[in-house]
Structure 1
Amino acid sequence: MIPYPRSIRARSVLVASALSLIALVIVGVTSSLAIRYRLQDDAFNHVEKIASRWSAATRAGTIPKVLPTSGEIQLIQLVDTRGRVLAATRAGWERPALTSLRPAPDDRVQRRATKCHLLVAIRTTTAPDAPVVLAQRPEPTLLRGHILEYVLAGAVLALLALVSWTAWRTVGRTLRPVEAIRARLAEITVSDLSLRMPEPPGDDEMARLVRTANQTLDRLDEAVAQQRRFASTTSHELRNPIAGLRAQLEEALLNPDEVDPHESIRSALAVTDRLDAIVGDLLVLARLQAGAQAPRELVDLGLLAREEAPKASRVPVRVRAEPNVWVCGCHIRLARVLGNLVNNAVRHADGAVDVHVTASGADAVLTVTDDGAGIAPADRERIFERFTRLEDGLRRDAGGSGLGLAISRDIAESLGGTLKVEDSPRGARFVLRLPRLDSRPAEPAGHLGAVAQGTVRSGV
């Protein structure tokens, strides 16, 4: 059993050759039959033409005893009903009647092909005793033996070889970039994603594949670089509280008489709370980056703002919300975004925080504005980076994780919205935009009431 080739090039050439062979065999057989019929018919017509001439001469009584030859027609005979030769060419006088075939009166011309000769018999008249003209010639050279079949078989093999060679060259030229791509991919490792595959010229499928692969590598390189930066920053942020906690515990063990154990425990608990907050936020970020989708539900953004805004804080939180500003999202995640924004505003506000929910075209817009020092334009994007905390934030709250705004933006983007810092006359103004539902969908009142009251919940 012949093993199936593993190479795409070999398989492609094998399939192309097999299909070509089938087609060429069909064409060859058809051509052989057509050529054989045409050559044989032309030869018969020539013999019949000569025999018809002597048949007319017989009816006119002008036929000689010795008939002249005509090219390859060396045997011509005029025989009677008893098979006696009445007139013939010289070669015809030397042998008996060529055949005993005697055409019928209603079908005066008969053709017969033997192994090597073509014979035509013409009855001169319809009379019962009418003689018959017999003319015979050798079969055309191309039809003798199997010469025609051998010629066509050679042509088929030559064409098959040409097709196979062309397919081999064409497929090889098409797949040549694949080997370069494979070699380059073998050089790419996780530690070095800077290499790119060579792009072939043109805009065919292979060129588009290479470009797409390079774009994928670009995204992968950026993702890996981002993960490395994230891991480095996370390690740094976790190392500081852990180092502080270790130092406090070591000091308590080394100097038990000088250190208040209750104060050490309270300090250790505070550090533990910060570590717990950081780890919790990291888990949320990991789930958001992994594309974990929380079940969607109908959420009245204004009702959410009134429910989730803190009732008591360092500064008052004023909520103004239009009714029936509906969005489709996760109640828990939206509540987390609102909580992050309000807590951040409360931390930086001097006198009050304003929360405003309104409908603007196709968007539901939630704004959280404080009257603090504001955020410099250069820092408005940087604050959404992980573990980024401005100096004013560190001064006001040293225990934060620096992940709240990053999580809020990721949640907004996962819901098809945006979260940005926009201009404000005073303080910082955070604007959350989400796709708004045109109207509250008609659903059973019990279900809608549960949604509106926030009784249907799903965690981040």
Structure 2
Amino acid sequence: MRSVRARAALGATLVVAVALTAAGLAVLLVLRGNLTDRAGLEAEVAAREVAGQLALDVPYAGLDLGDEEVHPVQVTDEAGRVVAVSKDLEAVSGTGVTRVVPVPSAAAPSAGDDDDDDGGDDDGNDPARREVSSDKPDFTNGTATVDGERADYRFAAVEVTTSRDVTLTVHAGAPLAAEQEAVSTVRTSMLTGLPVLLLVVAGVTWLVTRRALRPVEGIRRELAAITASEDLGRRVPEPDSRDEVARLARTTNETLTVLEASVDRQRRFVADASHELRSPIASLRTQLEVGEAHPELLDVPGAVADTVRLQALAADLLLLARLDAGERPGRTAVDLGALVREEVSRRAADRIGPAVSVRDPDALEVTGSRAQLARVVGNLLDNAERHAVRSVAVSVRADRGDVVVEVTDDGAGVPEAERDRIFERFVRLDDARSRDDGGAGLGLAIARDVASRHGGTLTAGAARDGGARFTLRLPGGAATDPGRQARNG
């Protein structure tokens, strides 16, 4: 069963069916018990009326047995002999004695035994010996045939002791027809009404679930349409309710927004990468073709420069691809001060440019990938040297458990409105000069991505004496935090 509506309707119907079945059985049991107790009470009353007469030594033949068709009566003695029965009682079961014909009894009372000439009581008719048992009677279910009609009865057995010290048991019955009819009526009503009620529950659940899932179906159709059209600018409908479906729609639209931005960023990246790769490749091809036709005109240094530029661009694109794929940085300890000094020394030996000064204390460690952090420092130095007039200053310091690297130059600086935009990929504020200098607009983007993946930040600001200031902040290692060193020690 693949439909949520069908499963919900079936589940609700099964739950209601089990609950109604249990409730119905409980009602039937309670109803049957109450009606059976009522019949038992009627039988007890009838039995005690007869027992009262026997306690007064009323002769068996003179007993008033009441309505014999409603309350059949059977009286037995201690030996189990029947001494009195209802007039039209033809058969009985459930009383322990099935005989319905009285037998002569030597203990049968006679009229006048309870009075003497002087009006006193002798030992033979002491009132203390005339007693109807006050104990709770025994109840049994059985049948009786009265005047040719057989029916079920509830029998009550009451014991009585006569003045002659004879113990008799009076069995009186009350019909169970009313109880059986009531239980049968209720049972029939339940069996008839239960399927109808279950159909109603199933139908209502189906309709309510259908109404509740209608927005989900709208979301599904719209997502299917988006998948078919590949138009990530479309959005699924958001219902006005504040339930889970509305939250699902909002989350879906947020996911589509992020996906659209990611796809757009990827498309721009591919387009910009193709554009950036086209220039050095075209220049290199032109030089090689000219060199092939006119070897004396081959510009070897230019070809080498284009090759180096192409190689650097390919390395940047490869690093960005690895970062976008979620590559995790290493977990080695890196002395950031020593790394900065190495990068500055390498540039001082390789090229002639602005003077670079370094100020850093010792043992400022961070955790991460040395190669990637070296790329960050190198990109910041390249950017500063590209825009500096005379000098570049680099400082490394500890700040509240972090390691902060600041790179400043004395150039024109970065306009405040552009300080976030320069970290986007392939963004160059001075496009022509950056391309001539070999920049593709990827250095700062790579630097911020690497810093972010190391748990740090990279921001741009204004230097104190003018120019630009780039601040790299990374979480420090154990050697950076004196309090941490003390705790570890």
Q: TM-score, normalised by structure 2?
A: 0.77
Q: Which amino acid aligns with 2:224?
A: A
* Corresponding residue to 2:176 among 139, 142, 153: 139
Q: 1:108 to 1:318 in 2, by over 3 A?
A: closer
Q: Which has the larger radius of gyration?
A: 2
Equivalence for 1:453: none
Residue of structure 2 equivalent to 1:69:
67
244-253 vs 212-221, greater mean Cα deviation: 244-253
Aligned to 2:106: none
Paired amino acid for 2:4: I
Aligned ranges for residues 195-274 of structure 1 at < 5 Å?
A: 195-251=234-290, 256=293, 260-263=296-299, 265-274=300-309
Matched, 1:111 2:148: no
CA shift, 1:96, in A, is: 4.2
2:371 paired residue number: 332
The structure-2 alpha-carbon separation of the partners of 1:345 and 1:132, relative to structure 1 and needing over 3 Å to count, comes to: closer
Count of residues in Structure 1 that have an aligned counterpart in Structure 2: 426
Aligned position for 1:177: 215
Contact 2:40/2:156 (8 A) holds in 1: yes
Which residue of structure 1 lines up, in the alignment, with residue 466 of structure 2?
Answer: 426
Pick the aligned partner of 2:319 from 281, 284, 288: 284
Residue type of the alignment partner of 2:338: L
Trace 1:15-54 onto structure 2 (pairs within 5 A).
Answer: 15-54=11-50
Q: 1:296 aligns with which of 328, 331, 344?
A: 331
Distance 2:302 2:339 in 1: 35
Matched-pair contact (CA < 8 Å) for 1:101–1:121: no
Quick one: structure 1 residues 345 and 135, their matched pair in 2 at CA, closer, same or farther if it must change by over 3 Å? same
The answer on whether the counterparts of 1:348 and 1:393 sit within 8 Å (CA) in structure 2 is no
| CA displacement at 1:346 relative to structure 2 | 1.9
Q: For 1:334-353, what aligned pairs fall within 5 Å after superposition? A: 334-353=373-392
Q: 1:388 to 1:148 in 2, by over 3 A?
A: closer
Deviation at 1:192, TM superposition (A): 1.0
| Structure 2 residue matching 1:260: 3-state secondary structure | helix
Match of 1:186 among 199, 203, 224: 224
Is the 2:434–2:440 contact (alpha carbons within 8 Å) kept by the matching residues of 1? no
Alignment partner for residue 435 of structure 1, among 455, 475, 479?
A: 475
CA RMSD of aligned residues (A): 3.3
Secondary structure of the equivalent of 1:93?
Answer: coil
CA distance in 1, matches of 2:44, 2:332: 96
CA contact (8 A) 2:404 2:473 kept: yes
Pairwise CA distance, 1:235 = 1.9
Which amino acid counterpart does residue 142 of structure 2 have in structure 1? T
Identity of aligned residues (%): 40
Counterparts in 2 of 1:108 and 1:170: CA distance versus 1, 3 Å: closer
TM-score (norm 1): 0.81
- CA distance change for structure 1 residues 392 and 12 in 2, over 3 Å: closer, same or farther? closer
Q: In the superposition, relative to structure 1, how do residues 58 and 76 fare at CA in structure 2: closer, same or farther (>3 Å)?
A: farther
Distance 1:236 1:392 in 2: 13
Deviations 1:311-348 (A, max 9, x none): 33322211100223222221111111111111222222
Equivalent residues of 2:393, 2:409 under 8 A apart:
yes
Rounded to whole Å, the distance in 2 between the matches of 1:314 and 1:396 is 18
Task: Provide the C-alpha distance between the structure 1 equivalents of 2:434 and 2:217, rounded to a whole number of angstroms.
Answer: 59
Distance change >3 Å, CA 123–CA 399, structure 1 → 2: closer
Aligned residue in 2 for 1:449:
none
Asked if structure 1 preserves the Cα contact closer than 8 Å seen for 2:381 and 2:407, the reply is: yes
Aligned equivalents of 1:214 and 1:198: distance in 2? 9
Kept after mapping to 1: 8 A contact 2:50/2:64? no
Which residue does the alignment assign to 2:425? Answer: 386
Moved more, 340-349 or 236-245: 236-245
2:331 touches 2:368 (CA, 8 Å); kept in 1? yes
Instruction: Report the 3-state secondary structure (helix = DSSP H, G, I; strand = E; otherwise coil) of the residue aligned with 1:120.
Output: strand
Letter in structure 1 aligned against 2:46: I
Change in Cα spacing, 1:164 to 1:125, as seen in structure 2 (3 Å) is farther
Distance 1:228 1:434, change over 3 A: same
1:348·1:396 contact (CA, 8 Å) conserved in 2?
Answer: no
The structure-2 alpha-carbon separation of the partners of 1:75 and 1:98, relative to structure 1 and needing over 3 Å to count, comes to farther
Alpha-carbon shift at residue 230 of structure 1 (Å): 1.5
Taking a change above 3 Å as real, the CA distance of residues 308 and 138 of structure 1, as seen in their structure-2 partners, is: same
Structure 2: distance between partners of 1:392 and 1:169: 63
Cα distance per residue 1:36-91 (max 9 Å; x no partner): 22211111111211221232133235685665439xx62444646553547xxxxx
Q: Structure 1 stretch 117-126 or stretch 285-294: which is displaced more?
A: 117-126
Moved more, 324-333 or 152-161: 152-161
Maintained 8 Å contact 1:345/1:368: yes
1:109-166 deviation digits (Å, cap 9, x = unpaired): 4433126222334343266755554433321434258555434444554554454344
Structure 2 residue aligned with 1:94: 88
Distance 1:56 1:432, change over 3 A: same
The structure-2 alpha-carbon separation of the partners of 1:389 and 1:51, relative to structure 1 and needing over 3 Å to count, comes to same
1:80·1:129 contact (CA, 8 Å) conserved in 2? no
Is the Cα–Cα contact under 8 Å of residues 420 and 431 in structure 1 kept in the other structure? Answer: yes
**Distance in 1 of aligned mates of 2:221 and 2:53:** 87
- In 2, the alpha carbon distance for the partners of 1:15 and 1:218 equals 37
Point out where structure 1 has 5 or more consecutive residues left out of the alignment.
87-91, 443-460
Q: Summarize the Cα distance change of 1:396–1:27 in structure 2 as closer, same or farther, 3 Å threshold.
A: closer
Distance 1:50 1:395, change over 3 A: closer
